[in-house]
Amino acid sequence: MAWMQVDFYSGVLGLTCTMNVIVPQKPADGNGDPSDIAWPVLYLLHGGSDNHANWLLHTSVVRYALRRNLAVVMPATQYSFYSDQKYGYDWFRFIADELPAIVRQLFRVSGRREDTFAAGLSMGGYGAFKLGIVHPDRYAAVASLSGSLDQRDRLTDRPAISNAVMLRMARHTFGSVGEYERSVNDLAWMLERRLAEGAALPRFYQACGTLDHNYEINAAFSRRFGGRIDLTVVESPGRGHDWAYWDEQIERVIDWLPLREP
């Protein structure tokens, strides 16, 4: 497994961006020509107050990915909510369209749907589910850990999950509740549309602790869509919004991914 930090230019954002990338170096049995292999890839998204380094700093994701021969891409996306912002940058277009093209240009990773996955924590859980719902033809599986799956409460300043920074950034990104609802940013509404269309959806993994401030919105999502989509739900009694939990869960997510043999 090789690890590197990559600085690159984004034409969508007009910014120099950063990502951490871990990639396998050879087939699992040590034989064959590695240049013939296009590795499966997980886009692993950070939370609102984090950056590209936090998954490496706080979890053993390198070790978990190594045993599955999985490439992992961890981009820095600021407090973007993985959305095209009302006042700001087109972060969703960057993460959904431009970044995968750049990754495939620089690294030997697969572009096939069955080899492409997304996961994230908190804000990144919202981003991962958004990728799978908006572009179901691109992702075989997506996972949300303690995901901020509904932004209405942030836009209306519910104290349990909002602070001044979150409130300001939510409004900067989505505008008002009325602008958010029934838009591409409204995950439940988008998923209902995909179901009505009969879209081939990815597999979903949703984990949240019962003491997490995002627990109620996660419970609402699983109640609404459980049995209607391929949804694995992990409710963890007594667990909160912390790295010990996310380290446990990202290991489970990587083991859950429907990876093909190299």
The pLDDT profile of the chain, 262 residues, written as one tens digit per residue, is: 899 999 999 999 999 999 999 999 876 555 656 566 899 999 999 999 899 999 999 999 999 999 999 999 999 999 999 999 999 999 999 999 999 999 999 999 999 999 999 999 999 999 999 999 999 999 999 999 999 999 988 887 665 555 677 778 888 999 999 999 999 999 999 999 999 999 999 999 999 999 999 999 999 999 999 999 999 999 999 999 999 999 999 999 999 999 986 5
Q: What is the pLDDT of residue 31?
A: 61
Q: What is the pLDDT of residue 161?
A: 54
Q: What is the pLDDT of residue 153?
A: 81
Q: What is the pLDDT of residue 239?
A: 96
CA–CA separation, 96 and 227 (whole Å) = 27
Q: What is the pLDDT of residue 29?
A: 58
In the 3-class helix/strand/coil scheme, how is the chain assigned residue by residue? CEEEEEEEEECCCCEEEEEEEEECCCCCCCCCCHHHCCECEEEEECCCCCCCCHHHHHCCHHHHHHCCCCEEEEECCCCCCCCECCCCCEHHHHHHHHHHHHHHHHCCECCCHHHEEEEEECHHHHHHHHHHHHCCCCCCEEEEECCCCCCHHHHCCCCCCCCHHHHHHHHHHHCCHHHHCCCCCCHHHHHHHHHHHCCCCCEEEEEEECCCCCHHHHHHHHHHHECCECEEEEEECCCCCCHHHHHHHHHHHHHHCCCCCC
Own/partner contacts of 47-51, CB < 8 Å, gap of 24 or more, are 47/120, 47/121, 47/122, 47/123, 47/124, 48/79, 48/81, 48/122, 48/123, 48/148, 48/166, 48/169, 49/79, 50/124, 51/18, 51/76, 51/78
Q: What is the pLDDT of residue 162?
A: 57
CATH 3.40.50.1820 holds for 2-256? yes
Pairing state of beta strands 116-121 and 41-45? parallel
For the entire predicted model, the pTM comes to 0.94
Q: What are the extents of the domains in the chain?
A: 2-256
Q: What is the pLDDT of residue 158?
A: 62
Residue 40: phi, psi to the nearest 5?
Answer: -65, 155
